[in-house]
Structure 1
Amino acid sequence: MAKSENSNFSVSKWYLFYAAIGFLCGVLFPTLFIIIDLNQMGMVFTISNIFEVAQVQYIYIFSVFAFPIIFSGMFMLFYNISTKNKMLKEQYKMEMIIREQKENLEASSRFANFGEMAAGVAHEINNPLAMIVLNNTLALKYLAKQELDIPKIGSLIKKNDDVVKRIAKIVSALKSLARNTENDPMEQTTLYDVVDDALEFCSGLLEPNDITFRVKYNGLETEFIFCRKVQISQVIVNLIGNSKDAIEMLEDRWIEVEAVKMGSSVFIHITDSGKGVPEEIQETIFTPMFTTKEVGKGTGLGLSLSKNFLLQHNGDLKYDKSYPNTRFTLEFKLKGHKTEKRIDEMAS
């Protein structure tokens, strides 16, 4: 408040200062012109002659009022322009800060689930590594005994090769899902590829918690959708992670991912054995910063960001309150519908 009053007082002082300059100019400039007129008319420069010329031209009356208004008006104009420029710079700076904080929060949201899933990923990688060690041990025993069972050793090498590819796929999925996907291009991809990337990452998370996992494609594995593939996989990972947290203490623990085609849309239902979201918070679960998790377990950005991602795809993410269990549904428009037109607009 005090700062605002000081600022207003400072502006008033400058306004009066420029008005005073205007008044002086309103006297000096006309006097200069009168002197020139007197000189041209061959009249002597006296006070009486000055007033005589001034009365005829009304120049003093006009200038004494006009110049203060012009100068003070110019000051206010430049002051407003400079103030507006300063405000625009401050606004731009604030927008950049907000954007940076938003990106940091989005990154926190992505890594919140990944941090919890680290143990699951380690489990998923450790099991294949144990198999490699076992196969190598058996192969060394065969070699030590000089029992060169070529088919058997070949089989062990083939198993090791498959396991290494499995580990590489898990690591690739982890790197892909952890990065920022905001600038990824929209592209045509199969429903299977989108879901499989997420499941590669989540399988190790669910096994240690003894959660039954089911996937139903209903013949839609090769159905094409336009999307940012990694971004949608991130949404699925987030929803499966939420389901895991919600049901891990239940006696009956299962999660199901099901693809369904209806009209011009494809839906991915992610359902778990929970009994649904409490009615009193159903309207707020997609609000930024809202979370039901314990402190430190969630950022409150997961569902909000996930819904925003789907809206960017001209689709949607909804909670199905009519279903007896907890179900969230991702909706995608099929090729040739609005999504394709929207992507063409974005490309142009």
Structure 2
Amino acid sequence: MKKNREFARVLRRLRTDKGISQENLSLEANLARTYISLLERELRSPSLKTINKICEVLEILPSNFMELVEQEKNKDINEELSNGHKNEEFKTQPIYSHLIDIIGNTLNIIVINEKLKISYANQNICDLLGYEKSELLNLNIEEISDPGSILKIKNTLQGLFSKNTYTYSDIICKSKNADNIHFNMAVIPHSQEAKTALLVLIDATEYKKTQDELLKSQSYLGMALSATKQIVWHIDLKNNVIHILSKSNEHIGYFPKEEIFPFSEVTRNEIHPHDYQKILVLLESIPKHDEPYFEFEYRSKRSSDQYRWNLARCKILKWCDNDRPQIIIGTSFDIDEKKSAQMALALNESRLESLVKLNQMIDAPINEIIEFAVNEMVDLTESQTGLIIIKEKNGHDKIFTNTRELQNRSLKDILDTTLPPKYHDSIFTAHDVFILNQIEKNAQEANTINARKMICSPIKDHHEVVIISIVNNKLEDYNSSDARQLTLLMQGLWRIIEHKKHHEQIQKIEKNLSVSSRLASMNVLCRCIAHEINNPLSMIQGHSDDLKDSLISHKEINPQNIYQATEQIDKMVERISTVIKGMRTFIQDSTMGFVRNIKINELVENTLNFVKTKLINVDIELIVKNNLHPDQIIDCHPSQIAEVILNLIYNSIDAIYRLPSRWISLEITSTDQVINISITDSGSNIKPDIAKYIFEPFFTTKEDYRGQGLGLYISKTFVEEHGGTIILDDTSANTCFRVSIPIKQS
């Protein structure tokens, strides 16, 4: 074992100087501990690969290590010379001349001269190439190598002895069967005098195949990572280390090259502060389970110091003893565009939801709507305080806020509390949205002014500011998106306020129209009563006067005449009673205001009693076509339906009373669910340019001021309140109105 003695000494000395135990050396060099012990006890010969591993741990170049081995061997030779054992074999040998003694039995060895002639080959290489040793020694290295490998060997031999070191290369040799065998080759000076070189060859054929497949896989993985702009990372939480594995991470802007970093420093400096805390909580709270996969979104800083959204997909490889994750591997890729689109969509949905909620509250009191808008704008902009000022023309502006301590306080008091005085005028003079992300305060204002950031959005109508909205104290800076949210919400609020005002005006007009319609209805009713009561009263008065005259003049009274007179008086009284009974029915229905069940035939008959005298006086024929069952019932307001019929008949009377042919037709039919009433007169149909206005209030074509233009408007209102329809039949040659009313009312 003498040939391993110098190697063992150098190894032991260098290991001891570094303070490394055999166990630690074996762990770091990925070798068996007993193998290190055998090397130091001169019981094993190291391979070239082993020498490289050991030198890497001991932080020394292999060439320097072997030089120390040669020095140790020369030292032994000098000691032997000094002891009188001088001999030719003990001449100082060149560096590496004894390496063949150390590793010759474990590796494939060939010795060549400067003309590439093989002068030595061990049995290992002979067996591998399929040659007998005698055959191989008669060959030139060029005969068993491909052209590229020959060129590498020639280039390596040039200057090899002057540098006195070894070099690495890859070559391809051909076996006796012409098979290509890949070798990792180390070229080492063997003899300065003979100009020979030692070729140490390691069979790398299988390694080459594996490496080719690995490179192909790495290439595919690299292309995939590059295409998806992903980075791969490895975290050791126990040792606070993150290893950025991907070389394509510049696409995301993470790190300029593949490196190892302190995990806490990376997360604290490169990840958004809000997300940093969330990630720490997430890693601490993940329970140990069979499927250790999870993902999360976070924002990371770029070279421009801007944050972009990323999605991390992770797998836990190792757990600590306390069931917390220790080693995690994962990928991260940029989702900023997708996240921005999602946030924009969510933002639009929030805006839409807010506007929808506002519109759903349109029937609520205006103050309740504005209070909702205050809370909504605070939530949308993630602010702390909100203020809405509704400008009034009388100068008494209305103020709404979500903060209890600011409620029931004057506007000046609120502004003094929230903003420095120099900003007050800006609020009332601004014509566009303005954002303040740093409100300047002097020393006296520092403890009294509570606003740090602010957005003010004025809403204008016809170039006049009608609403001023203010939000302040968002944790992050306000941006244009916040301004758009605030402006859109306030524009929606103003539209609702305008609608409420318009609706109030319409209600006021409708109230006035309702009063006018009742007056008009009373006018129609009075006209009917006047016609239907005055005529019977006149006849009663006539018979009464005749009887008075007979009594005063002491004329002989004929009992037959008295009987006939009293009989006529009874009929007139009955007629008046019928009119009053119908009138009482209508008045009761009008004042009570509820739907009643009534026979439609009775309703129509009572209604026509009001116009019979009028029709007789103007010589208009009334044609009634009633196809209903005598006991047909309808749910309705009798007075309103009667008024519809009276309005249509009186309109027909006013339109045709001067025509040569004068008639009015009333036709009543029914289906299972609807009563249909058609009123047609002898006049020609209404012209289209007039027909489109006839149902509007105060529209009339009567020239003698006998109408106010409310009859058809009121009739349409009453019919629609019953869920029915009233139309002018534009297909009829005569003027014809068709009314449809549901039999049952909900």
With the length of structure 1 as denominator, give the TM-score of the two structures. 0.65
One-letter identity of the residue aligned with 1:12: F
2:647 is aligned with 1:238: yes
Single out whichever of 202-211 and 229-238 deviates more from structure 2: 202-211
One-letter identity of the residue aligned with 2:447: F
Aligned-partner SS, 1:297: coil
One-letter identity of the residue aligned with 2:701: T
Listed as ranges, the matches of 1:181-220 within 5 Å are 181=590, 184-220=593-629
Q: 1:309 aligns with which of 700, 718, 721?
A: 718
Q: What is aligned with 1:38?
A: none
Aligned-partner SS, 2:605: helix
Q: What is aligned with 1:254?
A: 663
One-letter identity of the residue aligned with 1:204: T
Which structure 1 residue ranges, 5 or more long, are not aligned? Answer: 31-63, 344-348
Q: 1:108 aligns with which of 516, 526, 541?
A: 516
Single out whichever of 189-198 and 178-187 deviates more from structure 2: 178-187
Single out whichever of 246-255 and 308-317 deviates more from structure 2: 308-317
Q: 1:76 aligns with which of 465, 470, 492?
A: 470
Instruction: Confirm or deny: 8 A CA contact 1:315 1:331 kept in the other structure.
Output: yes
Aligned residues: 298
Listed as ranges, the matches of 1:1-348 within 5 Å are 11-12=427-428, 23=441, 28-29=446-447, 67-69=451-453, 76=470, 95=503, 98-109=506-517, 111-112=519-520, 115=523, 121-140=529-548, 153=562, 156-171=565-580, 173=582, 181=590, 184-294=593-703, 296-334=705-743, 339-340=744-745, 343=746
> 2:551 & 2:446 partners in 1: Cα distance?
112
Q: Name the CA shift for 1:295/1:109 in 2 (closer, same or farther; >3 Å).
A: farther
> 1:188 & 1:285 partners in 2: Cα distance?
31
Single out whichever of 148-157 and 290-299 deviates more from structure 2: 148-157
One-letter identity of the residue aligned with 1:23: K
Q: Name the CA shift for 1:261/1:69 in 2 (closer, same or farther; >3 Å).
A: same
Deviation, 1:68, is 4.0
Q: Name the CA shift for 1:124/1:27 in 2 (closer, same or farther; >3 Å).
A: closer
One-letter identity of the residue aligned with 2:428: S
Q: What is aligned with 2:63?
A: none
> 1:172 & 1:10 partners in 2: Cα distance?
72
Which structure 2 residue ranges, 5 or more long, are not aligned? Answer: 1-391, 398-423, 458-467, 473-486
> 1:175 & 1:90 partners in 2: Cα distance?
44
Per residue, is there more strand in 1 or in 2? 2
Provide, for residues 268-310 of structure 1, a one-character-per-residue CA deviation record: whole Å limited to 9, x for no partner: 1111101212233334433444433337333333223312321
Q: Name the CA shift for 1:213/1:152 in 2 (closer, same or farther; >3 Å).
A: same
Instruction: Confirm or deny: 8 A CA contact 2:533 2:576 kept in the other structure.
Output: yes
Aligned-residue CA RMSD (Å): 4.9
> 2:673 & 2:531 partners in 1: Cα distance?
40
Q: Name the CA shift for 1:20/1:298 in 2 (closer, same or farther; >3 Å).
A: farther
> 1:196 & 1:13 partners in 2: Cα distance?
70
> 1:77 & 1:249 partners in 2: Cα distance?
72
Q: Name the CA shift for 1:87/1:279 in 2 (closer, same or farther; >3 Å).
A: closer
One-letter identity of the residue aligned with 1:323: S
> 1:297 & 1:201 partners in 2: Cα distance?
18
Aligned-partner SS, 1:326: strand
> 2:426 & 2:617 partners in 1: Cα distance?
69
Q: What is aligned with 1:43?
A: none
Q: Name the CA shift for 1:278/1:193 in 2 (closer, same or farther; >3 Å).
A: same
Aligned-partner SS, 2:678: strand
Say which one has the larger Rg. 2
Q: Name the CA shift for 1:260/1:25 in 2 (closer, same or farther; >3 Å).
A: farther
Instruction: Confirm or deny: 8 A CA contact 1:188 1:227 kept in the other structure.
Output: yes
> 2:443 & 2:668 partners in 1: Cα distance?
81
Deviation, 1:182, is 8.7
Instruction: Confirm or deny: 8 A CA contact 1:288 1:300 kept in the other structure.
Output: yes
Q: What is aligned with 1:42?
A: none
Provide, for residues 240-265 of structure 1, a one-character-per-residue CA deviation record: whole Å limited to 9, x for no partner: 11111111221101112121123432
Instruction: Confirm or deny: 8 A CA contact 2:683 2:735 kept in the other structure.
Output: yes
Aligned-partner SS, 1:303: helix
Deviation, 1:211, is 1.3
> 1:98 & 1:180 partners in 2: Cα distance?
26
Aligned-partner SS, 1:274: strand
One-letter identity of the residue aligned with 2:441: F
One-letter identity of the residue aligned with 1:101: I
Instruction: Confirm or deny: 8 A CA contact 2:649 2:679 kept in the other structure.
Output: yes
One-letter identity of the residue aligned with 2:470: M
With the length of structure 2 as denominator, give the TM-score of the two structures. 0.33
Deviation, 1:228, is 0.6
> 2:540 & 2:428 partners in 1: Cα distance?
82
Provide, for residues 194-247 of structure 1, a one-character-per-residue CA deviation record: whole Å limited to 9, x for no partner: 223322222233232221122222344431111111001111111111111111
Instruction: Confirm or deny: 8 A CA contact 1:216 1:257 kept in the other structure.
Output: yes
How many percent identity over aligned positions? Answer: 29
Q: Name the CA shift for 1:216/1:189 in 2 (closer, same or farther; >3 Å).
A: same
One-letter identity of the residue aligned with 1:103: K
One-letter identity of the residue aligned with 1:236: I
Instruction: Confirm or deny: 8 A CA contact 2:586 2:638 kept in the other structure.
Output: no
